[in-house]
Amino acid sequence: MNPLNIDPIIFSIGPVAVRWYGMMYVIGFVIANILLKVLVRRGFFKIQEEKIDSMITTMLICMFLGARFAYVFIYNWDYYSQNLTELLHVWQGGLSFHGALAGLLFGGWYFGKKNGVSWAQVMDATALAGTPGLFFGRIGNFINGELYGRVTDSSFGMVFNGGGPYPRHPSQLYEGFAEGLLLTLILWFIMTKVKRHGVIACSFIIGYGFFRYFIEFFREADAQLGYYFGETTTMGQILCIIMIISGFVAMFLNSKRNDPI
């Protein structure tokens, strides 16, 4: 079986290289922009449509800072403490979803406070518009040949250049379909049923944590961290458990608020 060998660079113009990894994020944010405007026009997201670009810029900055800092300081500080010049080399990969989520939560709070919109409403809109981007982000990981799965003899196995000679689960694709496409469908279905802002955002946190926790059983643990609790649990699963618990707690607290749709 030949290893996956997709050129991560789409094209180059002199020293400037356009990479698939970055392009996937651009596609995700373009889709988010479109969906946010749909939510405004439907009356679900109660802000002026011209403020969408400002919201996306705010969320983009906070997301990337959170994603990069979490990856650097939680997942791989031993390496980056010795290679400080590579702290911002995001084109090489190295973004943490859990850190991105923390950044988005802060960005949503800041944007809502600045524009007189409830935090819950901003985060509902972010979940509905941003979740499809998770699919494209994982496709970027797949093209980069990073975050691959564990060794397998199943028919789904693929050989990744950085993963040795044995077939591995394409766990990036599993995550893309479950956390991106399937979760998007679930959240948009929930939107037609709920009567209070905040439920969709909490459902996203719970749903993502649930899907990611189980897919981690197919994903290779980060080499620099390994496994915990008797070689059975990854750092990703620990963070997902925290997410799920936090999501249910937030759902309970949100039930006490009056923020009707």
Give the pairing of strands 16-19 and 3-4. unpaired
Please give the C-alpha separations between residue 183 and each of 104, 162, 177, 195, in angstroms, as whole numbers. 18, 29, 8, 20
User: 3-state SS of 62-127?
Assistant: HHHHHHHHHHHHHHCHHHHCCCHHHCCCHHHCCCCHHHHHHHHHHHHHHHHHHHCCCHHHHHHHHH
Q: What is the reported pLDDT for 93?
A: 59
Q: What is the reported pLDDT for 19?
A: 85
Q: What is the reported pLDDT for 224?
A: 67
- Token representation of residue 109: 């709070």
Domain boundaries, the chain: 3-11+18-254
Radius of gyration of the chain (CA): 19
Gap between the terminal Cα atoms of the chain = 53
Q: What is the reported pLDDT for 152?
A: 94
β-strand partners of 233? 228
Say what angle helices 97-115 and 199-215 make with each other, to 10 degrees. 170
How many C-beta neighbours within 10 Å does residue 257 have? 12
Q: What is the reported pLDDT for 38?
A: 96
Per-residue pLDDT of the chain (261 residues; tens, 9 = 90+): 667 778 888 888 888 888 888 899 899 989 999 999 999 999 999 999 999 999 999 998 998 888 888 888 777 767 777 776 666 666 565 777 788 889 999 999 999 999 999 999 999 999 999 999 999 999 999 998 888 999 999 999 999 988 888 999 999 999 999 999 999 999 999 999 999 999 999 999 999 999 999 999 999 887 767 788 777 788 889 989 999 999 999 999 999 888 888
Among residues 74, 72, 66, the alpha carbon closest in space to that of 97 is found at 66
Return contacts of 75-78, CB within 8 angstroms, 24+ apart: 75/222, 75/224, 75/225, 75/235, 76/222, 76/224, 78/224
Cβ neighbours for 48, distance < 8 A, ≥ 6 positions apart: 40
Strand blocks (E) in the chain: 3-4, 9-13, 16-19, 159-160
Q: What is the reported pLDDT for 175?
A: 96
pTM recorded for the entire structure: 0.86
